[in-house]
Amino acid sequence: MKSLLFKTASDYLLPLLLLFSVFMLLRGHYEPGGGFVGGLMAAIAFLIHSFAHGLKETRNIIRINPGMLMPIGLLLTLLAGIAPWLIGQPFLTGLWFEEPFRFVGVVGTALLFDIGVYLVVIGATLTIMFSITETV
Domain boundaries, the chain: 4-135
Task: Give the predicted TM-score (pTM) of the model.
Answer: 0.90
> What gap in Å lies between CA 96 and CA 124, rounded to an integer?
29
Torsion of CA 6, 132, 71, 15, to 10 degrees: 0
Q: In the predicted model, what is the mean pLDDT of residues 50-73?
A: 94
Rounded Cα distance between 114 and 111, Å, is 5
Residue, of 57 and 30, whose pLDDT is higher? 57
- Residue 54 has what DSSP assignment? -
3-state secondary structure of 36: helix
